[in-house]
Amino acid sequence: MDIKVLGPGCPKCHTLEKNTREAVKELGLEAEVSKVTDVNEIAGYGVFITPGLAAMKKNKSRQDRNNKCFR
């Protein structure tokens, strides 16, 4: 799973990132947590108020179109 924390870097964004990383660890998930700070990229996820969170299931097949994004 790929989890993206969406936000410019405000205190709430940092808190969401910290809480997300802790939850992933506590639940024993195989997930990569990364930050997206570019406003245009954040808007591409349909998020216009931050912080936001996007979780995408990684598909190991060759067809990337099957990846799911939960908003």
Work out the average pLDDT over 46-65: 76
pTM for the predicted model, two decimal places: 0.76
**Of the residues 1, 10, 43, 69, which is catalytic?**
10
Q: For residue 63, is pLDDT > 60?
A: no
Q: What are the structural domain ranges in the chain?
A: 2-59
pLDDT at position 65: 47
Distance CA 44, CA 56 (A): 14
* Active site annotation includes 69: no
Q: 23: which residues sit within 8 A by CB, 6+ positions away?
A: none
pLDDT at position 57: 78
Q: How many CB atoms lie within 10 A of CB 29?
A: 13
* Active site annotation includes 10: yes
pLDDT at position 45: 92
Q: 56: which residues sit within 8 A by CB, 6+ positions away?
A: 1, 2, 3, 4, 67, 68, 69, 70
2-59 CATH, one of 3.40.50.10860, 3.40.30.10, 3.40.50.300, 3.40.1110.10 = 3.40.30.10
**Of the residues 6, 13, 36, 47, which is catalytic?**
13
